Amino acid sequence: MGGDFAPKNEILGAKLAYNAFGNKGVSIYLYGDADKIQQIANQNNVDTSIFTIVNTTDTIKMSDDPTEILKTKKNSPLYKGISDLANHQIDAFVSAGNTGATLTTSTVLLGRIPGVSRPTIASFFPTTKSRPTLLIDVGATIDHKSRFLYEFALMGSIYYSIAYKIEKPSIALLNIGEEDSKGTDAIKEAYSMLKKSDLNFIGNVEGRDILHGTVDVVVCDGYVGNVILKFAESFGSMLKTKLKQIASTSFINKIKVGLSVPALKGLFKELDYQEYGGVPVLGVNGISIVGHGKSSPIAIMNMIKKAVELREYQLISKIESIIKQNTLKN
């Protein structure tokens, strides 16, 4: 019930997922107002017998305070779904709702993987290379501490290795220069910790390296990561506005811009972060995925696909093991 177009896009996305891999032993549960779900499903010719519907009565708004939800909204889709995940009733949870609420509820109800100080959320960025760059953290933890940066690197490496089937993704710290003498004390400390780790750590990179695809995983605190994510998201809309402005200057420019639009469409799509189909809350003891509020049915399907894949490739036990191995080194 969480997304901007809920429950319609969620139902349509769940149906796409059922069609794509329902025959591979994947069962889909829908948490929410059962009457509403049935009504919207009927309107869109979706047969709900392919799902298990779990009725909930509380509703979470985008403006709700995450810690309040834990106290007052125990019969919401978010609280009930993540409780069921914690109790092994389900294997993964997916939401296009309130990101902060999903992060907090996942952290409290699922608990942290042993050795993880702070759960984190990462985001993929398109690059000029064949693979995207993962930026970690993008807003879960704004404290700028070496230990957190170090753990983000460990968790980001595992997540990237599963998402892109790369054994040792390359990892770097986001900095204002490449030399190891650059940056804040926290970055310099994290640098020396990562040098001693098992990771394929290549050192520091700068802001430009994210889109250049210099490295697979770029590590930063959640303040800078969140600012970059939102800055990048605004680029697509800026580009569209500027093109409209150019088109309005003359008839010739209108034709030129009009002709270029189909060619640019692929580019705009890549700049549209929801296409990546959600991101897991990394570091919690369960697969909990949060997606863009504006998620389309395809984005919802991609989130479910990601959930299935992260379970198949054992995200949780792999994070537990890399943290354990590397805690001994630092």
Q: Which residues bind a copy of itself (CB under 8 A)?
A: 126-128, 139, 142-144, 174, 176, 183-184, 206-212, 220, 222-224, 226-235, 237-239, 241-243, 245-247, 253, 255-257, 259-260, 262-264, 266-267, 270
CB of 206 to a copy of itself, least distance (A): 5
- Rank residues 196 and 231 by Cβ distance to a copy of itself and give the closer one: 231
CB of 184 to a copy of itself, least distance (A): 6
Measured in residues, the chain has a length of 330
Q: For residue 75, what are its two tokens?
A: 């019969």
Q: Of 68, 219, 82, 209, give the one whose Cα is nearest residue 141.
A: 219
- Rank residues 84 and 272 by Cβ distance to a copy of itself and give the closer one: 272
- 93 phi/psi in degrees, rounded to 5: -125, 140
- Rank residues 195 and 230 by Cβ distance to a copy of itself and give the closer one: 230
- The side-by-side arrangement of strands in the sheet containing 170-174 is 92-95, 287-290, 279-282, 120-125, 133-136, 217-219, 170-174, 200-205
CB of 229 to a copy of itself, least distance (A): 7
- Rank residues 247 and 284 by Cβ distance to a copy of itself and give the closer one: 247
CB of 261 to a copy of itself, least distance (A): 8
CB of 172 to a copy of itself, least distance (A): 13
CB of 230 to a copy of itself, least distance (A): 3
Alpha-carbon gap, residue 299 to 42, rounded angstroms: 21
CB of 2 to a copy of itself, least distance (A): 18
- Rank residues 72 and 237 by Cβ distance to a copy of itself and give the closer one: 237
CB of 73 to a copy of itself, least distance (A): 20
- Rank residues 91 and 143 by Cβ distance to a copy of itself and give the closer one: 143
- Rank residues 263 and 328 by Cβ distance to a copy of itself and give the closer one: 263
- Rank residues 135 and 158 by Cβ distance to a copy of itself and give the closer one: 135
CB of 235 to a copy of itself, least distance (A): 6
- Rank residues 57 and 260 by Cβ distance to a copy of itself and give the closer one: 260
Residues 6 or more apart whose CB falls under 8 angstroms from that of 79 comprise 58, 69, 70, 73, 105, 109
